[in-house]
Structure 1
Amino acid sequence: MQKIRDERLTLKNLNNIRIAYIIQTLGIIGILGYDLATKGMSGMTNNPLWVVFIITTTLSAYLSMTISVEHESKKSSPKKGLKISLLVLVLICLAIGIIISLVDGFNMMNGLLLPGIILLCGVIPIYYIYHLRNKRNADLEDD
C-alpha cells in the first residue's frame, strides 16, 4: 500500500476518520444512555464502555488544546495566563468547598476532598497549556 501524498486526499481521509469517530462516540453514548435508563448510574459506570468513553474524550480534549494553542494569533505571556488560570481554578475550588461544607449530609472532609480532586484535575491541563504556549513562543523566537 502506498503512502498518500496528495493533500486533498489526506484531508479527505482525516474527515472520514472524524466522521467515524463521531459515529462511534454517538454509539457509545447511546449504549451508556441505555444502561443508565435500565440499570441506573452504577450500572452505566460498571460498563467497560464507560472507561473507553472517558479515555477518548480526555484524549480528544488534550489534542484539541494543542491545536487551539497553535491557532492563537497573538503572542501572549504564558506566565500571565498560568497565573490567571490558577487563580480562577482556586476560586472555583474554594466556592465548591464552601458550598459542599454547608449542605446537609456532607461534612468538612467532603468539602476538602472534592475541591482537591477538582484542583488536581484542573492543574494538569492548565500546566499543559502553559507548556504548549512556552514551546510555541520559543519556536516563534527561533524563526
Structure 2
Amino acid sequence: MKKITDERLILQNLKNIRFAYVIQTAGIIGILGFDFITNGLEGMRENPLWLVFMITTVISLYLSMNISVDHEKSNKAPKKGLTISLLVAVMISSVVGFLVTLTDGYTINDGLVAGGILFLCSLVPVFYIYYLRTKQEDDYDE
C-alpha cells in the first residue's frame, strides 16, 4: 500500500474515522444505557463495555489536550499554569473531602481518602499539560 500524500484524502480519512468513532461510542452508550435500565448501576459497571468506554474516553481526552495546547494563541508560562492548576486541584480536593465528611456514615478518614484520591488523579493531567506547554515553549525557542 502506498502512503496517502494528498491532504484532501487524509482529511477525508480522518473525518471517516471520527464518524466511525462517534457511531461506535453511541452504540456503547446505548448498550450501557440498556444495561443500566435492566440491571442498575452496578450491573452496568460490571459490563466489560464500561471499561472499554472509560479507557477510550480518557485516551480521547488526553489526545484532545495535546491539540488544545498546540492551538493556544499565546505562549502561556508553563510554571504559572502548573502552580494555578495545582492550587485549583488542592482546593477542589479539599472541598470534596470536606463534603464527604459531612455526609452521614462517613468519617474524617473517608474524607481524606476521597480528597487524596481526587488530588492524585488530578495530578496526571496537570503534569501532562505542563509537559506539553514546556515542550511547546522549547520548540518555539528553537
TM range (shorter): over 0.9
Tell me whether 1:88 sits opposite 2:88 in the alignment.
yes
Tell me whether 1:43 sits opposite 2:28 in the alignment.
no
Any idea what SS the aligned residue of 1:116 has?
helix
Gaps of 5+ in 1: none
TM-score, structure 1 as length reference: 0.97
Note the C-alpha offset of 1:74. Answer: 0.5
Q: Within 2, Cα distance between the matches of 1:94 and 1:4?
A: 51
Aligned to 1:132: 132
Q: Within 1, Cα distance between the matches of 2:117 and 2:25?
A: 26
Per-residue CA distance 1:71-103 (angstroms, 9 max, x = gap): 111111000000001001100111111111011
Aligned to 2:17: 17
Q: Within 1, Cα distance between the matches of 2:102 and 2:129?
A: 34
Task: Report the identity percentage.
Answer: 56
Q: Within 1, Cα distance between the matches of 2:121 and 2:33?
A: 25
Aligned to 1:77: 77
The worse-fitting range, judged by mean Cα deviation, of 91-100 and 127-136 is: 91-100
Task: Give the letter for the 2:32 counterpart.
Answer: L
Note the C-alpha offset of 1:2. Answer: 2.1
Tell me whether 1:5 sits opposite 2:26 in the alignment.
no
Tell me whether 1:109 sits opposite 2:112 in the alignment.
no
Aligned to 1:66: 66
Per-residue CA distance 1:26-80 (angstroms, 9 max, x = gap): 1001100110110011110110000000000000000000000001111110000
Task: Give the letter for the 1:99 counterpart.
Answer: L
CA RMSD, 1 decimal:
0.7
Runs of at least 4 residues of structure 1 off by over 6 A? none
Q: Within 1, Cα distance between the matches of 2:14 and 2:138?
A: 29
Task: Give the letter for the 2:105 counterpart.
Answer: G
Gaps of 5+ in 2: none
